[in-house]
A = this chain, B = another copy of it.
Amino acid sequence: MIPGGDDGRPTLEDVAAFAGVSRSTASRALNDDAYVSARSKEKVLAAAKDLGYFPNQAARSLVTRRTGAIALVLSEPEARLLDDPYRTAVMRAGYRELADVGSQMVLMFVDGGEDLARTMRFLEGGHVDGALVFAPHRADPLPKALKGLRMPVVFGGQAGSIRSGVHVVDFDNKGGARQAVRHLVEIGRTRIATIAGPQDQTAAVQRLSSWRSTLLAAGLDPAELAEEADFTLTGGRDAMSRLLARRGDLDAVFVASDMMAAGALRTLTEAGRKIPDDVAVISFDNHASLAPVMNPPLTSIHQDPQAQVREMVTILMGLLAGEEIKPRNQVLPVSMTVRESA
């Protein structure tokens, strides 16, 4: 008898024969179903170990219609943005959280061109049971394409331009910006600028608009005090230069990400501004390897990507288990971590 056909890999049949039981019993033993005698189970497990047996996942998922894998999709039309530490944190959290519920993460980047079609083909092909999707850009066609998918999908942050009918786990961007600006007002600042993120992303729009409305509510004037950048270090550096050139009298700045704040800090230091004495700085993200190690350490609005991903995984698993969860926009709280910069 030639075990496992032509490529030398043992099959369940081989294990069963080796253990002296039927294929069915072997299957039951391996999947620890009920109704297998201890003796059979023991023999099967030993046989599997002896032969170096691993179940063929293709065969298994052909019948169970489950793959045990979940896609984590990061849609980023502009490739350069993937150095974003927030994205890195999301990937790590995704891997961990999915591993904890026994699922394998399949990471996919979508950055334009061919990618959308290939991504859809992959997802439709049944390679994965569901998807966690980050598609922050409003013009991104991915979320709409995903709506036609016969597979549960949960979004992290706003799903492109889609406003309802999808599962979303977002952070309280407005609340975070409000906290930051209020703190700056409370410590006596009156000319509070902002470096906003790219305005094609909902999160960035929310932080900017909340900055503005909080200023107005405090009786302060936002005119000329906003600059847009692209969430990168150099973007933040240049935006800060522009702000300084236009409003040299600013005494505080709310920066929409840690990375941009790092750039802004550099510009401010080079311009001879003392932080926080001359200019107070508050950023957004509170990334562990950025905010605390800056000089001075940054006061930052803390958002926890792991909590976000965990929530997304919980929803997805519920969906997969057949629960009726109605699509909604869940908002996770953020908090302010005060350090020296403000």
Contacts and interface: CB of A to CB of B under 8 A. Distances in A.
Contacts of A8: 150
A26 interface: no
Contacts of A80: 289
A3 interface: no
A266 B262 CA distance: 13
Given A58-B62, A150-B8, A293 B99 contact: no
Interface in A64-78: 65, 67, 69
Interface string A95-135: 10001000011111100001100100110111100000000
Contact of A118 (B67, B91, B99): B99
Interface stretch (A82-90, A158-166, A244-252, A325-333): A82-90
A191 to B, nearest CB: 27
Contact of A92 (B69, B79, B150): B79
Contacts of A232: 289
Nearest to A65: B7
A318 B114 CA distance: 24
Nearest to A69: B127
A122 B99 contact: no
A20 interface: no
Interface string A137-165: 00000000000001000000000000000
B106 A106 contact: yes
Contact of A54 (B56, B82, B125): B125
A52 to B, nearest CB: 8
7 contacts: A57-B58, A62-B62, A82-B92, A83-B88, A99-B114, A104-B108, A105-B108
A252 B265 CA distance: 27
A114 B237 CA distance: 43
B104 A105 contact: no
Nearest to A295: B266
Contacts of A55: 125
A187 interface: no
